[in-house]
Structure 1
Amino acid sequence: MARKQEIDFELPKLDDLFTTQQERDEAKLKKIHDIPLDQIDDFPSHPFKVMDDEEMLKLVESIREYGVITPAIVRKKEEGKYEMISGHRRKRACALAGIETLRAEVVEMSRDEAIIFMVDSNLQRTKILPSEKAFSYKMRLEAMKRQGKRTDLTSAPLERKFAEARDRIGYEVGESREQVRRYIRLTELIPEILEMVDQEQVALRPAVEISYLPKKMQKTLCEIMDMEQCTPSHAQTIRMRRMLESGKLTEESLLAIMQEEKPNQKERLVLRDSRVQKLFPRNLPAEKREEYIIKAMEYYGKYRERLKESKER
């Protein structure tokens, strides 16, 4: 016997059955208000950066000329103020433009619904930094786990729940489950290294391996990277992680790995001769020695110029 074909359809809402489009539009307009900026708090732990860059300047000029065309989305807080869900850049642009209010729609949302809406609305932007993806994916994943009914994860084992939630996020943002996992791992990096990832100084996969190192070891690695003027390759970070797991990773082994010759390492001058050390003033701090050498070389250069001029006379 042929199996009946399942038909998946969504029942219309009661509002749609008994109201006209004009009435629904009017109801929505009643929720839009000009709210004072000082009455709107930023979304807690908002993962997306609001920068005063060229795009912000364009937005400021647009708002000065046309106002806020698309209302921001806010929700009412218990103490009477509002919480921004979508529109942090518009709020900042209004402040820069000298406008004291923000045109915003007031909606009713739970905390987790607000998190999901906030993340999804910001992920539509053209350029998103790795750190922004990292914390927004993590916030969205945690909200989805709390809303088990939304993702049908309530009866699945814990690891399977996480995997299915990552699949859902990946599908919605156009990335694989594994890529979503990689970005979320970046939240375990210290700020200095995460900033290097945003600036494309450290690639994603090496950064993921570094994220498994303890914070103290990450700090040491960051100092070594600055001293050696290079960043680790993916293969080197894999070795670091394996050495950590076997209990063999130390500050000395980190330094040894980073001192290996690699394509992205800049040429450097190392002065280890005891004769050089004796030339520094006794109480000169180590961090000021480079400046001392530069000034000494500048002084010696001027001396040679004067010597050359005296001979030409």
Structure 2
Amino acid sequence: MSRKARLGKGLDALLGSVEKTAAESDGELRHLPVESIRPGRYQPRTRMDEASLSDLAASIKAQGVVQPIVVRETVAGDYELIAGERRWRAAKMAGLGELPAVVRRVPDEIALAVGLIENIQREDLNPLEEASGLRRLLDEFGLTHQQVAESIGRSRAAVSNLLRLLNLDPPVRAHLEAGHIEAGHARAILALPREQQLAAAETVMQQRLSVRQTEQLVRRYLSGTRKKKRNRASQDADLRQLEEELSEHLAARVSLEHSGRRGRVVIEYNSLDELEGILERLRSSRAASGQ
């Protein structure tokens, strides 16, 4: 059986049930020593907000862990996290010795999917973490965009829009990850060439633009770019015409190199005799003009 087929069957059994209690789930509820649990290899989260973690630790200290984490047992006899890393870290911070956990038999093919979906359902991931996790589901486990969309309860268009964020210029991605701009800003900025994206993002941050205002900014950028291209194309056409006229008049290959208000004329020749012929034609032109 293919890896993709195994994953599909596993998802059918596991998706949407990550947060079930032991009585409802296919796992076994245990109270495990906090120190026997280690982070999961397929954890989609790349960073955690320390202030938020401290708040959760205070809540756990007062009320305990209300929702069990989800783990799987390893061959070494300890436990690997599948879902609930924030709760586990907060429990350690709160000084708990053990915490409730649902222990499941979950193969590698399912661990990433479960961890990702649990975090998405709890809105615990930033847009880039979510996009990176979705990309792993596509690349490592062979799911289609539609299968990914169904597994996380999103539309196919929403999945595609998230994945597009991975195409941002790296400095702009860093601003998105840090929360300096929102996903809506980033999606608008994606319409720009990479070399213009950072400048647009900096304008958004400096002027505190809304998503709608960012879309207008991007349209202005694109309008200016198209105008420059049209002007450049028109200028290039004029230069090519002049090159042809000069080449025909001098019977030699002529190139015009123009930049700003300056430029130069390059006349090519293959021998001193050819050069003498070019100079003679220039003298004839000068004489014909009466100079």
Normalised to the residue count of structure 2, the TM-score between the two structures is 0.52
For 1:187, the equivalent position in structure 2 comes to: 166
Matches within 5 A, 1:114-263: 114-125=111-122, 129-142=126-139, 145=142, 165-190=144-169, 192-194=171-173, 196-197=175-176, 202=181, 204=183, 206-208=185-187, 210-211=189-190, 218=197, 233-234=214-215, 236-237=217-218
Q: Which moved more, 1:193-202 or 1:112-121?
A: 193-202
For 1:113, the equivalent position in structure 2 comes to: 110
CA distance in 1, matches of 2:225, 2:73: 48
Q: Which of 17, 20, 32 is equivalent to 2:30?
A: 32
SS in structure 2 at match of 1:92: helix
For 1:9, the equivalent position in structure 2 comes to: none
SS in structure 2 at match of 1:116: helix
SS in structure 1 at match of 2:33: strand
SS in structure 2 at match of 1:53: helix
For 2:4, the equivalent position in structure 1 comes to: none
Which consecutive unaligned segments of at least 5 residues does structure 2 have? 1-21, 230-291
For 1:257, the equivalent position in structure 2 comes to: none
CA RMSD of aligned residues (A): 4.4
Larger relative CO (CA 8 A, sep 6+): 1 or 2? 2
The count of corresponding residues between Structure 1 and Structure 2 is 205
1:29–1:117 CA distance, 2 compared to 1 (3 A): closer
SS in structure 1 at match of 2:50: coil
For 1:64, the equivalent position in structure 2 comes to: 61
SS in structure 1 at match of 2:44: coil
Amino acid in the other structure paired with 2:117: D
Higher strand share: 2
- The Cα offsets for residues 33-56 of structure 1, whole Å up to 9 and x where unpaired, read as 413436412444523653233575
Structure whose alpha-carbon radius of gyration is higher: 2
CA distance in 2, matches of 1:226, 1:242: 21
CA distance in 2, matches of 1:196, 1:244: 24
Contact 2:148 2:159 in 1 (8 A): yes
Deviation at 1:194, TM superposition (A): 3.2
1:227–1:103 CA distance, 2 compared to 1 (3 A): closer
For 2:92, the equivalent position in structure 1 comes to: 95
1:203–1:187 CA distance, 2 compared to 1 (3 A): same
Deviation at 1:67, TM superposition (A): 3.2
Amino acid in the other structure paired with 1:233: T
1:243–1:172 CA distance, 2 compared to 1 (3 A): farther
CA distance in 2, matches of 1:54, 1:72: 18
CA distance in 2, matches of 1:234, 1:145: 34
For 1:275, the equivalent position in structure 2 comes to: none
